[in-house]
Amino acid sequence: MDTLQFLFTGFGIAFQWHNLLFAFFGVLIGTAVGVLPGIGPMSGIALLIPVTASVTGGLGPDEAAASSIILLAGVYYGAMYGGSTTSILLNTPGESSSVVTTLDGHQMAKQGRAGAALAISAIGSFVAGIVALVALIFLAAPLSKLAIRFGPAEYVALMILGLCAVSGLAGKSMTKALMMTVFGLLLSTIGLDTVSGVARFTFNNPALFQGLEFLTVAVGLFALGEVFKTILEGDFNTGTVAKIQKVMPTKQDIKVSTMPIIRGSLLGFIIGVLPGAGATLASFFAYSVEKKVSKTPGKFGQGAIEGVAAPESANNAASGGAMIPLLTLGIPGSGTTAILMGALIMYNVQPGPLLFEEHPTIAWGLIASMFIGNVMLLILNMPLVKIFAKIIETPPKYLIPMIIAISIFGVYAVQVSVFDLMLLIVCGLVGYFFTQHDFPLAPIVLGLVLGPMIENNLRRALITTNGNYMIFVERPGSLILLSIAALWILIPIVLKMKGKKVIVNDEAA
């Protein structure tokens, strides 16, 4: 009952007129941040921290902190909504967690179903946001206790499971998917070694010391790869693009998407609670799970609406889940929540076990504002679906320069580096080459994201055991996750071999 009383107090704070304005502008800016490739929530929040400090200068310490964190959190989960827009319409992931949405979302857009894809994305994100917030209110304490028990060995096992799960995105060949996963892991080793400081695969180029910028690689592979395909193959749509008559999803679309949205929301929230896992891993997992449970897995990658509903729900739920370790333990689960933590500390508010006791107005005001923000996002996004869907009707001669301009602006804004622009072009050509030869691009992206996490946690685990690898099978959590990862790879291989034997026997008969 105390929880509900605190929540009502939080709503009292969130419904103050200035906090409603902060929430509105936060989600609005967040949506725009998600749409633009490169200007992710980390960059958006970092840029807005000094702005919020000046705007809230006339308020009391706790009021100023509450208002600022309401706006900054709005940018965070607003970006989860906005990231799907360019993924669906332009095959350009606006945010790293929207990479998976390009696989089916863009195919739906090509089929004239951009409106349905965008609407399901908005509905799924809204449902996931509400599910995550309800869980955040009632499950924060027990889930935090479970997450804090995860040691480095469990994290390594979890990441390996994530890499094995990407075989679900393999398309026709699991071998090619695993090759691309290893290639992504190799790319992740470029840069300075975090422990020894030794430069690896940098060829004495200072621009490579920090490693490859994730978004540069992702935008290059997906967005510019599509541009090069269109230009080099002359794949221009010379006829008129079919008008999108219906922007709302059909009853069948909603029926088919209901369970993927629920599964994606729950899975995304659980993964979001684990520090370091994040929305990107959640969206990959959700997509892989949907493909595994589907009776017709072949339709994934061809415009399956479940392939939009599940990852979009998962990445939004993960942003809610990431708030648990931040608020209750003072452990940022991602780069974005680390910046949010820095913003709170700037206001002399220390996230952690004492936050709810010492600053209840901030903690519960933030949680209540996230309810309000999700409603605002749904109201904002649903009417704009038709406007967004119209973008797909833009002729290629206008669309291609637009994609190139958005990609270059977004990538340059992250590092302000000409080298990154050159890398963008190289990744575009590589993406085109791989696509032409049926090599999936998604595993490269996941390998690049998870590589540093696996390396850091692997070292931590081995340091604690003086180099004894048995820790990965001696710890029950790690053993279970590694067993699931092994089964994820072996079961399809065994089933494929059995299928071949059946065919051979039938031919022999």
DSSP letter at 199 equals E
Tokens read off for 486: 């092994």
Q: What whole-number percentage of the chain has pLDDT above 70?
A: 81
Q: Give the DSSP H or E segment for 191.
A: strand 191-192
- Residues 83-110 as b/e (b if ≥16 CB within 10 A, e otherwise) read bbbbbbbbbbbbbbbbbbbbbbbbbbbe
Per-residue confidence (pLDDT) for residue 334, from 0 to 100: 63
- Residues 12-70: pLDDT tens digits? 888 888 888 988 988 888 887 777 655 567 667 766 776 777 776 666 667 888 888 88
- Residues 37-66 as b/e (b if ≥16 CB within 10 A, e otherwise) read bbbbbbbbbbebbeebeebbeeeeebbbbb
Helices (H) and strands (E) in the chain, counts: 22, 2
- Residues 384-424: pLDDT tens digits? 766 655 655 566 777 678 778 877 876 777 667 888 899 98
Kindly state the average pLDDT of the residues 354-382. Answer: 82
Q: Cα(37)–Cα(346) distance, rounded to whole angstroms?
A: 28
- Residues 5-21: pLDDT tens digits? 777 888 888 888 888 89
Per-residue confidence (pLDDT) for residue 224, from 0 to 100: 83
Tokens read off for 130: 């509400």
Whole-prediction pTM: 0.66
Q: Cα(213)–Cα(191) distance, rounded to whole angstroms?
A: 11
Whether 122 and 424 have beta carbons less than 8 Å apart is answered as no
> 323: which residues sit within 8 A by CB, 6+ positions away?
73, 136, 337, 366, 367, 370
